[in-house]
Amino acid sequence: MTRRSMVITLALLASGVSVAYSWDGRGPVPGLITPALAADIPTETERLRPVSLPAGQVIDHDYFAIGPLVQISGTVNGDLYAAGGQVLIDGRVNGDALVVGGRVMVAGHVAQNVRVAGGQVNLSGTVGRNVTAAGGNVELSPAAVITGSLVAAGGNIHLAAPLGGGATVAAGSLIFSNRVGGDIEAAGGSLWITSKAEIRGGVAYVGRREAVVDPGAQIQGPLTRRLPPVVPGPSLGKLRAVFVGVGLVIVTASFVSTLALGLLSLRFLPTYHEAAVRTLRERPWVSLLVGFVAAVIAPVVGAILFATVLGSPLALILMAAYAIVLYLGRIFALHRLGEAICRWFRATPRPGWVFVLGLVVYTPLALIPVIGWLGALWVVLSGLGAELITRKQLYMTARNQGML
C-alpha cells in the first residue's frame, strides 16, 4: 500500500467513509475501493453503505475491509483483514481471517486460522485450523466445525461446536456442550459441562466455584480444580511499620526544614527575629489569643472568598500567606522554648544554639499523645500570634517614619 493510498484511506475513515482494499504487495487493486475515491462529500446513506464482497466475486490476494458494515460473501484466496461496527463473513477465506468489530459473525468457511475480537462474537462456520477469540460474549454454535484448538477469553463463553483439539479459556461464565478433542484448561467464575459434552482429555480449571458437570457428560481424563491464589492483605505489624516509617520521614523532613528556616531567620533577619521572640517573652497569652483567632478566621474568610468568582484569586493569596505564616511562626516559639530552658539552667549560649536546643527538645515531645499534641498546638498558635503582632508593629513603625 502506497503512502498516498494510506493517507487517503485515513482521511476517508475519519469522515465515516467505508473503504475496502485488496492488496497483493504492489498496492491496492483498482476497482476494489468502495466507494470510489472522489471529491464529492458522501451522503449519510453512502456512509452506512456496507463494504461488501459480493457472492461469486473472487479475490486472488489478501483483502482489507474497513467500514461500519462489512460483509464478505465472495471468495478470498489470501488472508482477510476486516474491521467494522458489524462484520459478517459468510463466504470463503482460503487463508487466515483477522477480524475486529462490535459484532462479528463468522458463518462461512475459513481454511486456516480465525483470530477475532469483538463485543459479540458468533462463530457458526467451518475453521480449518485454530480459533483465537476475545469478546464480551463468545458463542461457537453447534453448526460450527473447528478442526484445531481454541484459545478464548471473554465475559461469557459458550462452546457448543465440535472442537478437534483442546481448549484454553478464561471467562466469567463458561459452558461446554459438545465434543472437545483434547484437554481443557479453564479459569473463571463458573464452569458448566452439559450432558452433551464429550471431553477426550482432562479438565483442569481454576475457580472459586465448584464446576457443574451434568450426569450425561463424558470426561475421559481427570477433573481437577485449583483455587485461585489468595493475595494476602497487609498484616497489622506491616501496617504499623509503614505508618512508623512514614511518620519518621515526615518528622525528619519537618526537623530539617525548621532548622534551616530558623538559622536563616537569625542570619538575615536578626532584628525581626528578636522582636518576635521578645513579643512571646513579654506577651505570651496575648500572642496565644491572637494566634487562635487568626487560625479560626483565616480559613473562614478564605472559604467565603472562594465562594465568589471575583474573590477566588484573593482566597488563593490569603491561604498561601496563611500557610507560610503558620509554619514560620513555629520558629519564634521554638526559640522562646530554648530560651526558657537556658534560663532554667542559667546558661547563655549564642542565639543559634538557643533555637537549636528548643527544636531538639520540642521534636520528640510533640510525638507524645495528647500532651505532646497540645504542646505542638501551643507552639503553632503562639508563634502565629507573635509573628502577626510583630508584623503589625513593624508596619506601624515604618508608616510613622514615612517609609510607607
Q: Check residue 248 and give its pLDDT.
A: 85
Euclidean distance between CA atoms 32 and 326, whole angstroms: 74
Q: Check residue 237 and give its pLDDT.
A: 76
Angle between helices 312-344 and 270-282 (to 10 degrees): 70
Q: Check residue 207 and give its pLDDT.
A: 86
Q: Are 388 and 291 in contact (CB under 8 A)?
A: yes
> In this structure, which amino acid lies at residue 144?
A
pLDDT tens digit string along 336-347?
999 999 988 888
Q: Using pLDDT thresholds of 50, 70 and 90, give the confidence band for residue 111.
A: very high
Sequence ranges of the domains in the chain? 3-226, 236-400
Q: Is pLDDT of 404 > 90?
A: no
Q: Check residue 233 and give its pLDDT.
A: 65
Q: Is pLDDT of 403 > 90?
A: no
pLDDT tens digit string along 309-341?
677 888 888 888 888 888 888 999 999 999 999
Percent of the chain beyond pLDDT 70? 86
pLDDT tens digit string along 155-192?
999 999 999 999 999 999 999 999 999 999 999 889 99
pLDDT tens digit string along 49-76?
678 899 999 999 999 998 889 999 999 9
The continuous run of DSSP H or E covering 58 comes out as: strand 58-59
Query: What distance lies between CA 162 and its chain's CA centroid?
Result: 40
Q: Check residue 48 and give its pLDDT.
A: 57
Q: Is pLDDT of 29 > 50?
A: no
